[in-house]
Structure 1
Amino acid sequence: MVRVERALGALLLVGLASGCTSSNPEEKPSFTDPSVAPSVRASAPAWTEPAAYSYALAFGCDESAPFGRYQVTVSGGAVTKSERVGGSALPSASAAVDLGPVTGQEGEEIEVPTLGQLTEMARTATEDGAEVNTTLDTADGHPVKVTINVTDTPDGAQCWTISDYRTS
């Protein structure tokens, strides 16, 4: 009789535990990337880099006066055209932050990334312990702003703001 009571108790326990799981056997478990802020997670779909697209990029954390504005065309996962369309002078080569190759005419220029490269840069910086904030478009999930700070000071951040994103 004691065995029957234990068996029924175990069956009841299994029934309660299974009631806490999904009732839909077709439903697959999902993974949420911990590097994405919770507010972004709930509002933006997953983004996959398209084969061809264009966008405008503002580099610099002061959105009213970025260091550089660029019009960018991407095809096959590579930047095929990057044209500087404005922005203030960039810091000199002696600045603590490496901004890319020197052009000679307008100070230092950044090497403009694809949005996939920018996303990967944010992921790598997060893994390395940097403070990273990424804002995603709520319609299709492409990045619209990425801020990376590898220093201990707020003014050590680098910011990339994306606008006029269009797929081809």
Structure 2
Amino acid sequence: MVRVERALCALILIGLAGGCTSGEKEPAVVDPAPTAGASAPAWSEPANYSFVLSRGCDAAAPLGRYQATVTNGAVTGATRVGAPAAAPSASAEVDLGPVTGDEGEEIDVPTLGELVAMAETAQEDGAQVSTEFDRTDGHPAKVTINVTDTPGGAECWIISDYKV
């Protein structure tokens, strides 16, 4: 009886293995309604567009918000939204880098293509990177880069009000 059971198991395994290597493809199942996990369409950066860039991982309390305009592939205007721009001290004799004040840190606003390239470079250099894309047109919606070993060390850029 044990021999019969072993023979049946062997035949079943051979049948399963043969079915897996038969070369015939299973029919693809296509879901007509995209789900929350659906991927975004491919995005090509247009020459002209505008967007709001929020810096900081807490969308309710960003470190800074900027209305940006891109013309011919370059940022031609970036205005701080919701807070006055921080200004360097009149007594500063040297450029010490970004100005930091109570209202947050001023940054040079990148194009969305530059932001994506920055994320790719950081990932190649070993950083933990997450890039989310808009599901309707594929433009970047959020970029998170963490070059530290702590969850609180992440830098985030959230894109909203994207208009072509």
SS of structure 2 residue aligned to 1:79: strand
Decide whether the 8 Å contact of 2:85 with 2:106 is kept in 1: no
RMSD across aligned positions (CA) = 3.0
2:163 pairs with 1:166: yes
* Aligned twin of 1:144: 141
- The counterpart of 2:112, out of the listed 107, 110, 115, is 115
* Aligned twin of 1:73: 69
Structure 1 residues 153 and 80, CA, compared in 2 at 3 Å: closer, same or farther? same
Structure 1 residues 76 and 105, CA, compared in 2 at 3 Å: closer, same or farther? farther
2:34 pairs with 1:53: no
Matches within 5 A, 1:11-160: 16-17=22-23, 19-20=24-25, 42-86=38-82, 101-102=98-99, 108-160=105-157
Decide whether the 8 Å contact of 1:65 with 1:87 is kept in 2: no
Decide whether the 8 Å contact of 1:101 with 1:111 is kept in 2: no
TM-score, normalised with respect to structure 2: 0.67
Decide whether the 8 Å contact of 1:70 with 1:84 is kept in 2: yes
Decide whether the 8 Å contact of 2:63 with 2:103 is kept in 1: no
Letter in 2 for 1:134: T
SS of structure 2 residue aligned to 1:65: coil
SS of structure 1 residue aligned to 2:105: coil
Structure 1 residues 132 and 102, CA, compared in 2 at 3 Å: closer, same or farther? same
User: What percentage of aligned pairs have identical amino acids?
Assistant: 65
TM-score, normalised with respect to structure 1: 0.65
Decide whether the 8 Å contact of 1:132 with 1:149 is kept in 2: yes
1:104 offset after TM fit, Å? Answer: 7.8
Structure 1 residues 133 and 107, CA, compared in 2 at 3 Å: closer, same or farther? closer
Letter in 2 for 1:80: T
Highest CA radius of gyration, 1 or 2? 2
Deviations 1:43-92 (A, max 9, x none): 201100001000011001111110100000001111000000126999xx
Decide whether the 8 Å contact of 1:67 with 1:88 is kept in 2: no
Output the CA distance in 1 between the equivalents of 2:152 and 2:101: 25
SS of structure 2 residue aligned to 1:117: helix
Decide whether the 8 Å contact of 2:83 with 2:103 is kept in 1: no
